[in-house]
Structure 1
């Protein structure tokens, strides 16, 4: 789905109309990490159009934003800001429990003409019937970020890594050639991101695409969990939480990081002195000629119903997410991958990036988007995530006979908590 130039212009005009009355006031935005920095980067362009609107972006950290938003909604909106960053995978938790906590963007100017400028997989979790609770922001096409010099020291050509078995072999060579360097890291103790990326690659997720049943014990998920354990057992995938992975990048003790495309900005902003040392390649697959695309993360912006300045909030949200200028500013400055389809055609996308050894990384990363299988979070994402994380840890530590047994257990636990059936 792509907008024609005429439709894009119409959508922009219609969308901006919703904020035309927002000439003054103050708004506060909650976000986290590089996402918060990206929002901050759009304020200058926004203020060129709305000079009397003051925007304050608060970086609270990902978990704090989720926890404080949940608590604020439970308290009738008390203490909430005007605009909140919400991850797509967690979005339905809020709409399901607190449908009155957020404004309907349809009432503020988010017309259907503007909405169709985003891919359907980004809108599915953000809209319920005629209500649009949030506007799509970034997507997270998965890529392998790697240190060119560490791979070269080991004689490893990333183009030769097409399967996870290849990745294990390459990782062992990289570790041997670069003492003190590990091939990759995963948050085994607090997240399931590697499992979810590999499962999504194999067309599997916690739930089926319609969100009505549990899919985590199906074959694609089993293959994903087996691959994660194989890498952990081989010693090339070691535990590391978010902060530890950033520390490893800075300390130059890690050779690869698998993440959504938005992680580009995290690496670049945390290790600017490593310009030219990093590159990007497609994630490997379970089998030769298997699928090599997945999505991890991606967020949206929502406006709270308790905001005293919804018009100004909408004007900011619409400029930041609904215009090429806003979206490409965030891509250029902090690597936030646009969901706005017209922004993907901006000339900047095709440019070689100096930090990445002049590789045109956005052509490579965004080239996988049309191969991504949509994955549904549902209102039960948090329950499933906690269960699968615990099962994953137990499986990696030898607590289950095989991956199928582990994920059968996870599926049964999720069914008990959610009441959903297990998909055949």
Structure 2
């Protein structure tokens, strides 16, 4: 589940309540107040990773491929979205993430010192705050993503982790049974939250008492005890991302060329960058 993490000290200084941010236009207007009051960008955008862009297009039912496998990387929705992000970079609402992405040492240091008012990432990013940005304890709060229009979807589903059993395993059946227990059982799903800080795969544990108890994640975030009540509100606002044979190639082109050319150097327009990537994929 993708959410927006807000630095409440900065938001308070700017006089902005994150609960009032319903749309991306609201977010952009709030960014102006943040710049004027705190001299900081509202958020950051990745230029060598795809979480920012992919979550923003997924919100609108788009992606790199359609449900039937058609390449839609350079669709109007994607082009308009990248243009909007570019505009937010140019008006200083968003800053290209130091180090290029939200997992770089440069970014962690920047954010730990209160470098930006917010960051858009999946809920599992909570662990990154605890591990790499400890000075933000008690300052960060978690809210839904802004929607593209009133009543629009307020989240996206971004993962990346997969667990597999190699065929060469000595005890193949036992390994598969354990993996099924660890990732598929109620007990395992509760541990996904209490041990790892991931939102569990099974909806039927989201309202269990264990997910309401305090732990290092709820202690770190200002609204930590209400994390799952917030996630339950948006769990049906997550669109699927369709994976096809060349999805990894498309993803690689986005992070290696499209975002860098369109947002970092701005040597190409978003349309030019996306069209060029689509052309390479269709060869």
* Residue 18 of structure 2 is aligned to residue 152 of structure 1: no
* Shift in Å, 1:413: 2.1
Contact kept in structure 1, 2:129 and 2:136, CA below 8 Å: no
Q: What is the alpha-carbon root mean square deviation over aligned residues?
A: 2.3
Contact kept in structure 1, 2:112 and 2:134, CA below 8 Å: no
Q: For residues 392 and 270 of structure 1, what CA distance do their matches in structure 2 show? A: 25
Q: Match of 1:187? A: 46
* Shift in Å, 1:221: 1.5
Query: Comparing both structures, which one devotes a greater share of its residues to strand?
Result: 1
Corresponding residue SS for 2:163: strand
Corresponding residue SS for 2:162: strand
Q: For residues 302 and 283 of structure 1, what CA distance do their matches in structure 2 show? A: 31
Aligned length: 272
Q: Flag structure 1 segments of 5+ consecutive residues without an equivalent.
A: 1-140, 417-424
Corresponding residue SS for 1:301: coil
Q: Match of 2:62? A: 204
For residues 350-374 of structure 1, give each alpha carbon's deviation from its aligned partner in whole angstroms, at most 9, with x where no partner exists.
4573322244012212432212111
Q: Match of 1:334? A: 196
Structure 1 or 2, whichever has the larger Rg, is 1
* Runs of 4+ displaced beyond 6 Å: none
Q: Match of 1:102? A: none
* Residue 45 of structure 2 is aligned to residue 175 of structure 1: no
* Shift in Å, 1:338: 1.1
Corresponding residue SS for 1:370: coil
Q: For residues 357 and 312 of structure 1, what CA distance do their matches in structure 2 show? A: 42
TM-score, normalisation: structure 2: 0.85
Q: For residues 86 and 211 of structure 2, what CA distance do their matches in structure 1 show? A: 36
- Equivalent in 307, 316, 319 of residue 178 of structure 2: 316
* Residue 85 of structure 2 is aligned to residue 225 of structure 1: no
Contact kept in structure 2, 1:142 and 1:258, CA below 8 Å: yes
Q: How does 1:1-400 map to 2 (within 5 A)?
A: 141-179=1-39, 181-188=40-47, 190-210=48-68, 212-240=69-97, 241=101, 242-243=103-104, 244-350=106-212, 353-359=218-224, 360-389=226-255, 390-396=257-263, 397-400=265-268
Q: For residues 398 and 273 of structure 1, what CA distance do their matches in structure 2 show? A: 33
